[in-house]
Amino acid sequence: MRIQFKLSLTFILLLVFGVTAISSYSIVFIRGYLMNQAEADMRADANQILVTLQLTSKTERDLVEVLPVIGRESIYDIRVFDHAGELMLRPVRTQNWDPTAYTTLSGELQEILGEMHATSLAVHHREEYDRIFVYGNLYLQLEESRYTIEISRLKSEIYQPVHTIRWIIYSGMFVSIAIILFVSFMFSNYLARPITQLTQAAKRIAGGETEYRIELNRSDEFGTLAQSLNQMSDRLRQENEKLLAASNRQKQFYADIAHEIRNPLHTISGALEMLDMNNLPDEKRTRFLQSARNQSQRMNRLFQDLMTLQRSDLDPNFVHPRNFVLSKVMMNLEQAYSTLAEEKKLKLVFDGPAYCSVYADPNKIEQVLDNLISNALKYSAQGTVEVRWRLLPDPLNQAEISVKDTGIGIQAEHIPYLFDRFYRTDKARSRDSGGTGLGLSVVKTILDAHRTEISVESAPGKGTRMTFRLPKAT
């Protein structure tokens, strides 16, 4: 069942019930009002008739002569009963009833009339005659007997205006219902239209059409809901784009891992096949052993880098910062790379204050510097590799560390992607040099965990400088 039909039906039922209830109450109220007014009028007219008879009738004979005259001028049926309750005079008018239907007053009524004062009246409703009766006592001047005057009127006469009013009310009710039907349809359509639009939009968005926009220019709750759905659609689209990009990166990541592992395995497999030859010269045997060893070390570094990256993605406590002296880490690195620098005939410079304490994870920072210095030595054929650190003036409260080389440099278009996983500016040359393609990704991940950034300054043929900052020890 559609929402528009439900709304229309609800409005129609509520309004029809309201109109019907008001109409019925109005009719009941009018009937009650007319009856009360009729009783009051009959009381007043009965008093007037009694007064007139009292003044004009001194004997029973006068009463017999005067009463028909009054009866012809009156709208009521008038009868007279003697003191014994027997009918004495019949009415002049007979309005759709048999005036002889009863000719004797009931004992209960006579008892009530006997206890009434001369000016009192009694009102009596008799449903079998569909009439209202008013009784009053009449005492003639020259008679000692009590007479009872009865005036009556048909209730249908009293309710005659109700029939006209009823038809007016019913006609108005039917017209009102017709108007209600039209208004309910229009109003329900007004309310259901945005609901229908929002429902269709939600279905389209749920079906994947996140580019769909709801054009609903309203300032009410429907407009707010439409804006919320549009915002949700935008967020879903952005999240979908991010998930798609992440999925593509993941696929590429797995492809790169497979490629990076395949090459060393091929090299190791080939070296082992050569080593299996009985007549292989010692010089070649040594070279193949060294090649297999180098490739196994390369694979070991690859898996270590992968473990570092995976831990950074999953472990919120990836880094454990504490206060430590930076120069001690630099001393270890200088000892580790001095031999390699001498072999490549490069000048390796470590320069900085002897006491420089920072707040960071010493093992992870040493891993960052190890990767940066290794890359600097790897891509420098001649010249100098400088590792410098210094304390920045207050209020920065930071230490700045930089690694600068005089190597081949990096073209500008490669710098934005330099820290992406498995990204290489020269893939063939990088693999030949034993790189894993993850070193700078590890550097970026560790520094991100320390909430600091690394900057790159480089130009082809002029070398590269990488700089980052760490907070001073607290």
pLDDT in tens, 17-38: 777 787 778 878 888 888 888 8
User: What tokens does 216 get?
Assistant: 């609903």
Non-local (6+) Cβ contacts of 415 within 8 A are 456, 458
In a domain, 223, yes or no: no
End-to-end alpha carbon distance in the chain: 69
Q: Looking at residue 142, which CATH number applies to its domain?
A: 3.30.450.20
- Cis omega before residue 395 (within 30°)? yes
As a whole number of angstroms, the distance between CA 257 and CA 421 comes to 10
In a domain, 322, yes or no: yes
Give the domain-ending residue among 163, 193, 220.
163
Determine the average pLDDT of the residues in 80-108: 73
Give the domain-ending residue among 163, 191, 221.
163
In a domain, 145, yes or no: yes
Strands 347-351, 384-391: pairing kind? parallel
pTM: 0.47
Instruction: Please write down the long-range contacts of 426-435, taking CB distance under 8 Å and 24 or more positions apart.
Output: 431/263, 433/378, 433/379, 434/294, 434/297, 434/298, 434/378, 435/375, 435/378
Determine the average pLDDT of the residues in 162-179: 77
As a whole number of angstroms, the distance between CA 171 and CA 169 comes to 5
**330: number of Cβ within 10 Å:** 22
Q: Does residue 429 carry a pLDDT above 70?
A: no
In a domain, 213, yes or no: no
In a domain, 258, yes or no: no
As a whole number of angstroms, the distance between CA 428 and CA 447 comes to 28
Q: Which domain holds residue 334?
A: 317-471
As a whole number of angstroms, the distance between CA 317 and CA 340 comes to 34
For 310-354, how does the pLDDT look when each residue is reduced to its tens digit (9 = 90+)?
666 667 677 889 999 999 999 989 988 888 899 899 999 999 998
In a domain, 375, yes or no: yes
User: What tokens does 55 get?
Assistant: 């003044």
Q: Contact at 8 Å (CB) between 165 and 62?
A: no
Q: Looking at residue 345, which CATH number applies to its domain?
A: 3.30.565.10
In a domain, 254, yes or no: no
- Domains of the chain: total: 2
Determine the average pLDDT of the residues in 260-287: 78
Non-local (6+) Cβ contacts of 441 within 8 A are 305, 309, 419, 420, 421, 422, 423
In a domain, 263, yes or no: no
Q: What is the mean pLDDT of the chain?
A: 80
Phi–psi pair at 121, nearest 5 degrees? -130, 150
As a whole number of angstroms, the distance between CA 346 and CA 383 comes to 6
277 or 94: which leads in pLDDT: 277
Positive or negative CA dihedral for 363, 368, 369, 375?
positive
Give the domain-ending residue among 101, 136, 163.
163
What local confidence, expressed as pLDDT, does residue 305 receive?
67
